[in-house]
Structure 1
Amino acid sequence: MRLLHTSDWHLGRSFHRVSLLDAQQAFLDHLVATAREHHVDAVLVAGDIYDRAVPPLGAVRLFDDALHRLAALGIPTVMISGNHDSPRRLGVGAGLLQRAGIHLRTDPAHCATPLVLADRHGDVALYGLPYLEPALVRDEFGATAPGHPAVLGAALDRVRADLATRPAGTRSVVLAHAFVTGGQPSDSERDITVGGVSAVPASLFTGIDYVALGHLHGCQTLTDRLRYSGSPLAYSFSEADHRKSLWLVDLDAHGGVHAERLDCPVPRPLARLRGRLDTLLTDPALHPHESAWVEATLTDQIRPDEPMARLTHRFPHVLSLVFDPERPPDTHDGSYAERLTGRDDRQIAEDFVAHVRAGHRPDADERAALHAALDAARPRET
């Protein structure tokens, strides 16, 4: 059985106010072409189809087009809702779409109802577990403890109970949207700690042949049987070093897993540059990044004039500017109160300016302005 595992499309999301709809369209083109080229038996989409519960129309059009094209291939597609999706909105028309081979799993109550496919070795049961918010589904699963481990564990107990009723040798696949212990997060995932402990142990998935995970945006292998596909595009500069990809997974006759990473198209590379402004503008080693989306961290002790405009001349796609001035070693000992002892208001004010400007003390004009302000603020005797 050959499966194509993807997740975290986040249709409708932008990157630092730059629309990604064209890049998301290019990815969906690539997904359909890959499914066709590699003759996959099913496509697995492990949640966060959309970036928000009420997606923009452009994102809905992309999703609608993807559904039609996947259905036209005649390849079954299983999708679950993630923590960014609205389960009810995403699941509208699920019964009708199922007739076209699109299997939307957004209702927790149906998590133990699999799509059963067959190959020459027998049956493969594919279970879609939508994102389970503990506060909303605890009663449904009769969970005895708060948090994600309890509700996800209860859902998987139902899956294993259903598997036990099926013919011997039935292989199993689970789609889940969760933060599994050992996974490495990035800056672009929405925190799922609301409702209890967020991380769940990998041991919850014991007995499942392959687990197609979603939520974390970096492609990761927790075990041979537990994998994150990651997002197909970078959604934060923390993903600058990610290799965006899909998992092409082959299940053998005994549920053994062979997985291959297939690269996704990259609309524009990311670069995180750090240094003084003059260095960033002149260093020839930075030439390869001139066409990238750039996050620039300036280390100048004094904030330069018009840094964004000047950077844009060399890096037309600079999107983020961070200031982190180099600071001299701190030679002060003792507490803050001890360091103020014996110093007048003028010295304290000048020291504060030097502190916030990475050691650069006020010049003569600035000192005069500070002293005048302090004099004006002092109460006058009447």
Structure 2
Amino acid sequence: MKFLHTADWHIGKELGDYSLLEQQKTAFEQTLAIAKDKQVDAILLAGDLYDRSIPPVDAVNTLESMLQKMNIEAKFPIFAVSGNHDGPTRLGAGKKWRENNKFFLRTTLAEAFEPIEFGDTQIFMLPFIDPLEARVYYGISNESNELRTINAVMDRVVADMQANFAPDKQHILVSHYYVAGKQNEDYDLTSETNSKAGGLKSIDVNQFNAFDYVALGHLHLKQASPSETVQYSGSPIKFNTKEAQSEKGVFIVDVNADGVTSEWVPLEPEKDLILLEADFNTLIDPEFYQQYERQGANLFSIKMTDRPAVTDLRSQLNAIYGEIVEIQFKQSQAQSISRANKMTERAEQSNQDLIREFYENVTDARLTDHQAEIIDQTLTRLERQED
């Protein structure tokens, strides 16, 4: 079977105050054209369809139009999961009529153990969930230490999936997590998140050894792929400056009895994101700026190396470059080191750790286990923004 693997569409995302909807529409049209050209059997869509759990109306209309065009008009089956940016309850609405059109979208852990038989494959779909949701599903009491980490959760979840493996089929998993392996151990996670991606520590790639292919979402560059058969397709467009130098695209994955092969197919951005770092006089020098296509041809992120006494700085730069999504001022080396150290310290702490630290500093007392459990539950509801 041949699949197109894509993820992290983040429909509705903005870069600064700039809407990316038109670029997202262009990337979608290219993705659909690739699916047709490569004659794939289905689409694997690995989470973060939206950029927020309650998306704006124009984002909802855009995504619905895309999915209808891909699934109903072009007749491609879709196998998708919700990611940490999606609102699973809202996204999961309309399950019955979607599945009648072979659009399979999983948003709860309970659904993850029900594979879809598709040709010579079984496709499992595991949405983004955290340990608290897993403990609730498995009926584990608050006092128990079971399933407190995402790796412990994944051990149990994968074992329960394997119990439903058909021995004469290939097995595919579509999921949305930070998965670490030898191939991506030096990958810079900051393009999407910190070392506790989506609030969770990394999952060991070896936990997915039972699957023939794992289509991942969450990290936005294909270089984050932890192995040849456990891969991130990355996002279809560039969402921040850390992604500006990287190529975007999709994977075409062929899964058969002889093994798995994948082909990377790049996408061409409607407008590229160009990073400029210079002082003000250089930026307004025609010899400098005329080397770039401007005035609507590209998006620009500018880092100023000086702080000129210019009252209309942005308007002058806008007149030259057109669409500027952000202007930053370069910090001194001492400022950069201090800021980096603070960010590293905070990145190593979960939200629970930060709340615990604050509570202990204010009250001079330790959180009880019951209080910690309430914090976990509250943070989960807030992250999903659906209760």
- Asked whether the two chains share a fold, i.e. TM above 0.5, the reply is yes
Residue 215 (structure 1) shift? 0.4
User: Residue 102 in 1 paired to residue 106 in 2?
Assistant: no
User: Residue 260 in 1 paired to residue 263 in 2?
Assistant: yes
1:354-369 maps to which residues of 2 (within 5 A)?
none
Residue 77 (structure 1) shift? 0.7
Q: Is this contact kept in 2: 1:300–1:325, CA < 8 A? A: no
Q: Which residue in the other structure is 1:73 paired with?
A: 74
Q: Is this contact kept in 2: 1:81–1:131, CA < 8 A? A: yes
Q: Which residue in the other structure is 1:47 paired with?
A: 47
Query: What is the CA–CA distance in structure 1 between the aligned matches of 2:3 and 2:157, rounded to whole Å?
Result: 23
Structure 1 gaps, min length 5:
329-382
Q: Is this contact kept in 2: 1:80–1:130, CA < 8 A? A: yes
1:114-134 deviations in whole A, cap 9, x for unaligned?
11111xxxx201100000122
Residue 288 (structure 1) shift? 3.6
Query: What is the CA–CA distance in structure 1 between the aligned matches of 2:309 and 2:147, rounded to whole Å?
Result: 52
- Partner SS state of residue 144, structure 1: coil
Q: Which residue in the other structure is 2:242 paired with?
A: 238
Query: What is the CA–CA distance in structure 2 between the aligned matches of 1:327 and 1:213, rounded to whole Å?
Result: 37
Quickly say closer, same or farther: Cα 1:68–1:300, change in 2 above 3 A: closer
Q: Is this contact kept in 1: 2:282–2:288, CA < 8 A? A: no
Query: What is the CA–CA distance in structure 2 between the aligned matches of 1:194 and 1:311, rounded to whole Å?
Result: 36
Q: Is this contact kept in 1: 2:106–2:125, CA < 8 A? A: yes
User: Residue 129 in 1 paired to residue 132 in 2?
Assistant: no
- Partner SS state of residue 45, structure 1: strand
1:22-47 deviations in whole A, cap 9, x for unaligned?
22222222222222221111100000
Residue 203 (structure 1) shift? 1.0
Q: Which residue in the other structure is 1:211 paired with?
A: 214
Structure 2 gaps, min length 5:
335-387
Query: What is the CA–CA distance in structure 1 between the aligned matches of 2:237 and 2:193, rounded to whole Å?
Result: 16
Query: What is the CA–CA distance in structure 1 between the aligned matches of 2:28 and 2:208, rounded to whole Å?
Result: 29
Q: Is this contact kept in 2: 1:290–1:314, CA < 8 A? A: no
Query: What is the CA–CA distance in structure 2 between the aligned matches of 1:325 and 1:30, rounded to whole Å?
Result: 39
Q: Which residue in the other structure is 1:31 paired with?
A: 31
Q: Is this contact kept in 2: 1:187–1:236, CA < 8 A? A: no
Quickly say closer, same or farther: Cα 1:7–1:185, change in 2 above 3 A: farther
Which amino acid counterpart does residue 260 of structure 1 have in structure 2?
E
Q: Which residue in the other structure is 2:302 paired with?
A: 296
Quickly say closer, same or farther: Cα 1:25–1:197, change in 2 above 3 A: closer
Query: What is the CA–CA distance in structure 1 between the aligned matches of 2:189 and 2:238, rounded to whole Å?
Result: 10
1:257-336 maps to which residues of 2 (within 5 A)?
257-282=260-285, 284-291=287-294, 292-300=298-306, 304-324=310-330
Query: What is the CA–CA distance in structure 1 between the aligned matches of 2:61 and 2:20, rounded to whole Å?
Result: 14
Quickly say closer, same or farther: Cα 1:196–1:36, change in 2 above 3 A: closer
User: Alignment identity in percent?
Assistant: 29
Q: Is this contact kept in 2: 1:133–1:195, CA < 8 A? A: no
After superposing the two structures, state which structure 1 stretch, 39-48 or 142-151, moved more. Answer: 142-151
Which amino acid counterpart does residue 301 of structure 2 have in structure 1?
E
Q: Which residue in the other structure is 2:56 paired with?
A: 56
Q: Is this contact kept in 2: 1:147–1:195, CA < 8 A? A: no
TM-score normalised by the chain length of structure 1? 0.77
After superposing the two structures, state which structure 1 stretch, 274-283 or 243-252, moved more. Answer: 274-283
Q: Which residue in the other structure is 1:333 paired with?
A: none
Residue 290 (structure 1) shift? 4.3
Q: Which residue in the other structure is 2:355 paired with?
A: none
Query: What is the CA–CA distance in structure 2 between the aligned matches of 1:25 and 1:194, rounded to whole Å?
Result: 27
Quickly say closer, same or farther: Cα 1:271–1:238, change in 2 above 3 A: same
- Partner SS state of residue 67, structure 1: helix
Quickly say closer, same or farther: Cα 1:190–1:89, change in 2 above 3 A: farther
Query: What is the CA–CA distance in structure 1 between the aligned matches of 2:4 and 2:312, rounded to whole Å?
Result: 48
Query: What is the CA–CA distance in structure 2 between the aligned matches of 1:195 and 1:9, rounded to whole Å?
Result: 16
Query: What is the CA–CA distance in structure 2 between the aligned matches of 1:327 and 1:158, rounded to whole Å?
Result: 51
Residue 198 (structure 1) shift? 1.9
Report which of the two structures shows the higher radius of gyration computed on alpha carbons: 1
Query: What is the CA–CA distance in structure 2 between the aligned matches of 1:307 and 1:290, rounded to whole Å?
Result: 20
Residue 275 (structure 1) shift? 1.9
Residue 325 (structure 1) shift? 5.6
Quickly say closer, same or farther: Cα 1:324–1:191, change in 2 above 3 A: closer
- Partner SS state of residue 231, structure 1: coil
Q: Which residue in the other structure is 2:162 paired with?
A: 160
Query: What is the CA–CA distance in structure 2 between the aligned matches of 1:162 and 1:209, rounded to whole Å?
Result: 15
User: Residue 223 in 1 paired to residue 227 in 2?
Assistant: yes
Query: What is the CA–CA distance in structure 1 between the aligned matches of 2:329 and 2:146, rounded to whole Å?
Result: 48
Quickly say closer, same or farther: Cα 1:301–1:325, change in 2 above 3 A: farther
Q: Is this contact kept in 2: 1:297–1:323, CA < 8 A? A: yes
Which amino acid counterpart does residue 222 of structure 1 have in structure 2?
P
Residue 239 (structure 1) shift? 0.9
- Partner SS state of residue 222, structure 1: coil
Q: Point out the structure with the larger helix share.
A: 2
